[in-house]
Chains A and B, each alone.
Chain A
Amino acid sequence: MNTLLRVEDIHKRYGSEEVLKGVSFEMLKGETKVVIGPSGTGKSTLLRCINRLTPADRGRVWLEDEEITHTRTNINKIRAQIGFVFQSFNLFAHLTALGNVRIAPMKVRGMKKIVATDLAMNVLERVGLADKADAYPAELSGGQQQRVSIARALAMSPKLILFDEPTSALDPELIGEVLEVMTALASEGMTMLVVTHEMGFARAVADEIIFMEHGVVVEHGSPTQMFTNPKHLRTGEFLNKISELYGETT
C-alpha cells in the first residue's frame, strides 16, 4: 500500500502554550482515520497545520512525494488537492449552493463554466442536494450547508479530505444526514482524516482511531482495540465519558 500523507513531528505554539508537541502519523490511500480527544488538545490545529492554513513551528508534512511544509512548495497547488470541511461550514455567503461548488473548479483549475456546472451538479447529486442548487447558504439548514461544503470539497477531486468537527455545530437531528454522506464517501474509498466526537461514526467507519491529549498522540489503534482494550488508562476514561455524553449515533 502507498502512503498518501505523512505527518512528522509537528509542533505548534500559541504564545506560551504549546498546542502540538510533536505529532506524527501516516495515512494510506483510501484510509479513514478519526482523531479524538478532549477540547483544546490541538486536534483542529493539527488539521490546519497539514494544509498550512496555520503554519507549523516545526516538523514536516508530505502529500505523496511532495513536502507540503517546504517553503518553496506552491501551497495553493497542494491545497487544491486537499479538501477541508469546517465546523462552521464557511460556505460563501454571496453564492448559491451551485456557485459554491463550482467556483474552485473554475477559478483554481481553470475549468470552463459549463463543464464546472455539470461537475458541480453531479457532486450535489451525490450529497443529495441537486434540488437545492439555486439556494443561498442562508436558505439552507445546517445539515444541508455542511453537505454543500462537502460537495464543494469533492468537486476538486481531492486526494484527501480533512474534516474539522463537521457535525459539532449541528442540531442533533441534522447530524445523521452529514454522517451518512461521510460514511458513503469512506466506503467509496476516499481518504479521510476526521476530527470528531461522534463515537458511533468512529467505531463504524474508522480504520484507525488516534487519541490525542495535551498536544501529543496518547494512543492509536483499530476501533475494536481502542474501545474494548485500550492500552492507556486515559484512553478508556475518555472513551467512556464521551460515549455517555454524545451517545452513539449513526
Chain B
Amino acid sequence: MVLKWEWVPQLAEGLPLTLQITFTCIAIGIVLGVLLALARVYGNRPLRWLCSAYIQFFRGTPLLVQLFIVYFGLPNWGIRLSAFWSAVLALGLNTAAYQAEYFRGAIQAVRGGQMLAARSLGMSLPQAIRLIILPQAFRLVLPSWSNEFILMLKYSTIVFTIALLDLMGKGQRLASRNFMRFEVFIVVAFFYLGLVFVVTQILHLIERRVRIPGLGAPGEPV
C-alpha cells in the first residue's frame, strides 16, 4: 500500500467546506430543534401534532432522498438553491428533527417542581422556560446530543453527490484520477477520525465546564 503525502494538502482543501456545512447545519438544528421540542412539550394539540409530523417525516425518510428533493426537486417548483445551500437546508432540517427529540427528552427530564417553583415566584411561562428549564435541559442533553454532532460530521459526506467538493468530494475526485481508491479513502477515513476525535474532546471539555453538582451527573440524585 502506497500512501502519498501530497494527498494530504489536496484532501485538506475540502476541510473548510465540510466544517462549514457541519457547523451551519448543527446551528440550524439547535435553534429549530429547541423550538420543535418546546412546541411538543408546551404547545397546544394542533401545534404538537404538526411538530410530530415534521419530526416523523425527517426521521422516517432517507437523508439522501431529502437532499435530492431539495437540490433536484425544488427547481421544478421554481426554487433554485445553490448546491451549498441545498446541502445546508436538507441536512439542517434533518438534524433538527433528531435534535428536537433529544431536547424534548431533556426538557421532560427536568423535575416538575422546577417549573412549579418558577411560576410560584411570578415568572411567566416563557421566563420559566428560558431561566429555569432550558439551562438545566441543555446540561442534561449534552452527552446524548454529542452523538448528533458526530453523526452530522459524517453524514455531511453525502453532499459529494451534488458535486460539492467537501473532504469526501475531494477524495472521490482524487481517487478517480489516480485509481488508488483503497489508499485514498483510507486517508479520507483518517481525516474524519481526526475530526471526530477533536470534536469529541471539545464537547467533553464543555460538558465538564458547565457541570453543576447534582445536576445530571450519573450516580447522583438529579
Residues of A at the B interface (CB closer than 8 Å) are 51, 53, 76-84, 86, 88-94, 103-104, 107-108, 136-139, 149, 152-153, 156
Contact = CB atoms under 8 A, between A and B. Distances in A.
Interface in B190-209: none
Contacts of B122: 76-81, 104, 108, 156
Contact of B120 (A53, A94, A137, A139): A53
A49 B119 CA distance: 13
Contact of B139 (A80, A94, A104): A94
A106 to B, nearest CB: 9
A138 B114 contact: no
A43 to B, nearest CB: 16
Contacts of B123: 76, 104, 107-108
A136 B212 CA distance: 8
Interface residues of B, number: 25
27 contacts: A51-B120, A53-B119, A78-B122, A79-B119, A79-B120, A79-B122, A83-B120, A84-B117, A84-B121, A86-B116, A90-B114, A90-B116, A90-B117, A92-B114, A92-B117, A93-B136, A94-B132, A94-B136, A94-B212, A103-B131, A104-B123, A136-B214, A138-B213, A138-B215, A139-B213, A156-B121, A156-B122
Given A93-B215, A136-B213, A138-B221, A107 B117 contact: no
Nearest to B138: A94
Q: Which 3 A-B pairs have the closest CB atoms?
A: A138-B214, A80-B122, A90-B113
Given A94-B212, A138-B213, A152 B121 contact: yes
A198 B124 CA distance: 34
Nearest to A84: B120
A170 B111 CA distance: 19
A152 B118 CA distance: 11
A139 B213 CA distance: 7
Given A92-B132, A93-B136, A138-B221, A80 B215 contact: no
Contact of B214 (A84, A89, A139, A149): A139
Interface of B: 111, 113-114, 116-124, 127, 131-132, 135-136, 139, 212-215, 220-222
Contacts of A94: 132, 135-136, 139, 212, 215
Contacts of B213: 136, 138-139
A95 to B, nearest CB: 8
A153 B118 CA distance: 11
Contact of B116 (A53, A136, A138, A152): A53
A108 B121 contact: yes
Given A79-B121, A90-B114, A93-B136, 8 more contacts: A53-B119, A80-B121, A86-B113, A92-B114, A104-B123, A107-B127, A138-B213, A156-B121
A108 B118 CA distance: 10
Contacts of A137: 214
A91 B117 contact: yes
A140 to B, nearest CB: 10
A94 to B, nearest CB: 5
A248 B222 CA distance: 33
A243 to B, nearest CB: 30
